[in-house]
């Protein structure tokens, strides 16, 4: 049952413990999904800004299991198709290794229309050609307007059932009606 968050004008759908459990499950799935590429360098890339904290938490879990993943961040601000409609706030792209012939897992907080993922893919290809690219998101809104999908999802929160904005971070998932 959704609970009204006391400090925000939003409803808490999932608390910190549920998010933590979902991130552990996502880390397991990422490990299994990239097992065929274990001989390649594996890179978790958090989409700036919301995906970075999620990627860091997943990376920490993978590292604790002895899994070898590099951790980076990608900023796709100037590849967004709506960049002219908003005031862009670019952030840093951090690639600890070259991405040619790597197994890349792009991580984001909320997958909605697919436009951010498309922009991240365009940005990524400016840096090289990975062997394989996967996508993991904490929340899938089931509202993609592009032929894209998440390989790994923590929660499915359909836009049809929960119209409005969903915010997700390590402290919980919140719905703003």
Residue 47's contacts (CB-CB under 8 Å, 6 or more residues apart) are 73, 74, 76, 106, 107, 108, 109, 116, 117, 120
- What are the structural domains, with CATH classification, of the chain? 9-34+42-82+89-176 (3.40.50.2020)
Please give the pLDDT value at position 79.
72
**Averaged pLDDT, 32-53:** 95
Q: What pLDDT band is residue 84 in, cutting at 50, 70 and 90?
A: low
Average pLDDT across the chain, whole number:
92
Sheet strands (E) in the chain: 3-4, 11-15, 42-47, 70-74, 103-111, 132-140, 152-156, 165-169, 172-176
120 SS3 class: helix
Q: What is the pTM of this model?
A: 0.91
State yes or no: pLDDT of 100 exceeds 90. yes
Residue 87's contacts (CB-CB under 8 Å, 6 or more residues apart) are none
Distance from first CA to last CA of the chain, Å, rounded? 15
């Amino acid at each position: 049952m959704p609970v009204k968050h006391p400090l925000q004008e939003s409803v808490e759908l999932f608390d910190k413990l549920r998010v933590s459990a979902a991130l552990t499950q996502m880390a397991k799935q990422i490990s299994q999904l990239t097992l065929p590429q274990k001989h390649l360098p594996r890179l978790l890339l958090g989409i700036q800004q919301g995906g970075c904290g999620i990627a860091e938490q997943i990376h920490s879990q993978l590292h604790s299991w002895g899994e070898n993943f590099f951790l980076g961040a990608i900023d796709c601000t100037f590849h967004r198709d709506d960049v002219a409609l908003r005031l862009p706030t670019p952030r840093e792209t951090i690639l600890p290794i070259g991405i040619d012939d790597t197994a890349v897992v792009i991580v984001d907080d909320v997958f909605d229309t697919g436009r951010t993922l498309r922009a991240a893919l365009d940005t990524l290809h400016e840096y090289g050609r990975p062997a394989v690219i996967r996508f993991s998101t904490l929340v899938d809104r089931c509202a993609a307007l592009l032929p894209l999908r998440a390989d790994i999802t923590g929660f499915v929160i359909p836009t049809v059932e929960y119209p409005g904005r969903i915010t997700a971070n390590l402290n919980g998932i919140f719905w703003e009606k």
